[in-house]
Structure 1
């Protein structure tokens, strides 16, 4: 028997759709239902490798974890990974399908709806309840034609919609009522109820607000959801959270400088470090300088390595990094950051947009050629110091050179990464490195910190349990099940 389904759309981007779906996935799973998450179309450079050999948005991987199931490419059949201001790599059912400019993508979307519906049908046959997440704003009527992410999907699949508004932004009554105003009547009829997210203060003071929204829209009030502080410790959907200002940690023994470049990817690699009380992550815009007292410079992955390397150089951060190394500081490059550390990066096939060959930072004696199939694989092995590790690879390109003889890791009969002769500079293609408690402990002790001894993965599950309890307390979950069909 096919599953019931319910879709969650937002009045805008970053209103908390991903978090709400994750919390509901855990809550309904704890009620004994087999729950599967689904997002027809996602745009994010924060991706995860699936067991079936593809990639999906990181948020859907978290939602799968909340539901106690393995991630599948069918949970996010269309993934757009931005490579420029107007273009993105297109991933369909987990595999790279090509590149598309924004205007061109609008003409491609009708060809993608059958793949979206195919994946949705596969999930429905495996679940009791499918929780569907929309993308961006439900009221983007300028993009309604050929839409596969919001009302276009809801109408095609006949899935009722719950609208989420973010009161923390202000104007939530107008944003929800305004959504009803701008939607075509047939689309508006798909919305059954609404949730107000990120409320702070006395809920009784917004009781009239909830009633006003119901009166203006005719939609059922599902609940007023208070701000959930631990959300910051869960992997973020997009890079908006990377740029959020954070309070400086007093007493932290280690400072890690992280340049945040325009096409940063897999930025959840930072989350385990953020959770360590002895570590302060200093996120830097390209117009800022690397602090002279930092212990490690961490270069993150990138969806457009050559373009981000050029930004790094144009900003002068490359000069700061070399000065840091001369002072005896350490540098770690992850994936695209690893490629930047080498002597050259060549893109003979124009994978990143233009055929190019550029000089890297020259801190590792290696060279990278961006060519061949994309490597998408979960791996386990041991690092150079014989500590166990696990993570995943998600990259195009092959890196070779003398410093590869000093490998960073070995797994499945192959080696990964490179180190400089003095050990100050290290590069690896491995994502998820710091979720390994022993790996994170070893790195922090090298830098002079005393790790907190936490079990990072168990901590994430504990947060998901608290999030589920949060949903049970403040939302009408029985009412949501009643509305699902």
Structure 2
């Protein structure tokens, strides 16, 4: 059976996911068989697994860092927020229903057997499991029935529990209080599981922080395991959730005098926005996230409506923000509009949710730019697919993750032909509006390059996105090797 250790954070967005990804790659390169694990995740950025389920995007990236396909055992409980008062619950890769926050607190401890069983299955396949916590163990109001942090760490690897490395986020300020405060609110049994702390996202001269490390050690009794400097190439890796949107915005700036400009309305329940990462990797592409209250600029080349976890609610937001008028004006000027998954559904004539799958039962007129209609019904489609572009024959690959059936006249001119014989997506008669259920399709270099070349005459070549992700993971592992004593970290695993 494998050994394991856990990375917990002093707060959300402390960099846990990135640390685990880098550690997975570093220890895999040392010849160990490594697997990532996150007991409970909350994210609308998800990935389809090799066993036809879904897990958080971060665990899929961590699996890639280990050189293996993602599996549902790597993230047995996933919450996907649909609206302010509820979320979709995914257990062992498959939807188990919708839950309200107050209800989840009362029954989440019933999910602990699912979590522990997945953990044990994973341990039987490898040498080392690196576990990622969620949020912070210092959230004492969530301690009852906890399965994400110390509740899991104490229950697993009986009788000793899973050793924990605590990561503090120096970027936000107050990191000494973060770590010391966590020590103050933990129970003695929980403090005993923390075997050391790491300071993450440091900028500047690390030597200036060494007195603080000594002070934290004295106040907590925990050894400092190192200071991890700011990792610039983090922007080249797929994003986990909306907490990453700040980095996403900073990275999406094209170079040159006349970059290709792509506008993306920021939907309230935006999902799988990592679909746009490959476009951001192109030096001559500028991706603009359009915030609520902003108009879509009139000089963009493409408008992309991204995925949504609450498509009718987000469709209403598009209308409230008057983005529908901006899209119509953009099309009048000859621009392109792309809808991805939920965005594809919005582009049609109508969306119906007769069973209240994503909230209250009802329907909403669509934007009317594609002659299709969608009914949110049936089982959730979770599938990795390959195929070809209908117009050019170029190969594509991606994955489907959606509820709903979309049909109508524009489906007779599909965007893609899939390998299983299905026709996928729709094109308007003008060819200027296109929609698809496929996520990740822009990660296919040849397809992305061809798409962009239609926007700029004479454009050739472009980024090698997938290789760029691999290079970034290797650079992250090198970075952690330089910042931390990984032999000591590995020695903590039990």
Give deviations 1:235-256, integer Å, cap 9, x for gaps. Answer: 1111122245427434243110
What pairs with 1:117-266 in structure 2 (closer than 5 Å)?
117-157=116-156, 158-244=161-247, 245-246=249-250, 248-251=253-256, 252-266=258-272
1:460 alignment partner in structure 2: 469
Q: Counterpart in 2 of 1:394? A: 401
Return the offset for 1:174.
0.8
Q: C-alpha displacement at 1:286, in angstroms?
A: 2.3
Distance 2:312 2:399 in 1: 22
Matched, 1:417 2:425: yes
After TM superposition, give the deviation of residue 229 of structure 1 in Å.
Answer: 0.5
After superposition, what is the alpha-carbon deviation per residue over 1:147-204, rounded to whole angstroms, capped at 9, x for unaligned?
Answer: 0000000000110110000111111011100000011111111111000001111111
Q: 1:405 to 1:62 in 2, by over 3 A?
A: same
Contact 1:86 1:102 in 2 (8 A): yes
Q: Is 1:242–1:267's contact at 8 Å kept on the other side of the alignment?
A: no
In 2, Cα distance between equivalents of 1:270 and 1:126? 33
Distance 1:202 1:377 in 2: 47
* Secondary structure class of the residue paired with 1:273: helix
Q: Matched residues in 1 for 2:484 and 2:461: separation?
A: 35
Partner of 2:361: 355
Given candidates 439, 454, 457, the residue that maps to 1:431 is 439
Q: For 1:269, what is the secondary structure of its paired residue?
A: helix
RMSD: 1.0
Contact kept in structure 1, 2:281 and 2:463, CA below 8 Å: no
Q: Which residue of 2 aligns with 1:100?
A: 99
The match for 1:300 is 306
Q: 2:287 aligns with which of 261, 281, 285?
A: 281
**Corresponding residue for residue 441 of structure 1:** 449
1:348-387 paired onto structure 2 within 5 Å: 348-384=354-390, 385-387=392-394
Deviation by residue 1:423-479 (Cα, 9 ceiling, x = unmatched): 000000010011000110111011117355322111111110111111111111111
Q: Is the 8 A contact 1:243 1:283 kept in 2?
A: no
Are residues 1:316 and 2:289 paired?
Answer: no
Distance 2:174 2:401 in 1: 40
Match of 1:482 among 479, 486, 491: 491
Give me the TM-score of the superposition, normalised by structure 1. Answer: 0.98
Please give the secondary structure, in 2, of the residue aligned with 1:146: coil
CA positional deviation for 1:120: 0.2
Structure 1 residues 35-92: Cα deviation after superposition (integer angstroms, max 9, x where no partner): 0000000000000000101000000000000011111000000000000112100000
Contact preservation (8 Å) 1:444, 1:451: no
> For 2:476 and 2:372, how far apart are their aligned partners in 1?
45
CA distance in 1, matches of 2:5, 2:91: 23
| Number of positions where the alignment pairs a residue of Structure 1 with one of Structure 2 | 484
Q: Equivalents in 2 of 1:478, 1:215: separation in Å?
A: 23
Deviation at 1:130, TM superposition (A): 0.3
Q: Within 1, Cα distance between the matches of 2:414 and 2:255? A: 36
> Where in structure 1 do 4 or more consecutive aligned residues deviate above 3 Å?
247-250
- Residue segments in structure 1 that go unaligned for 5+ positions in a row: none
For the 8 Å contact 2:312–2:351, the answer to whether it is kept is yes
Q: Secondary structure at the match of 2:218?
A: helix
CA distance in 1, matches of 2:81, 2:200: 28
Tell me the residue number matched to 2:297. Answer: 291
User: Partner of 1:362: helix, strand, or coil?
Assistant: coil
Counterpart for residue 85 of structure 1: 84
- Give the corresponding residue for 2:410: 403
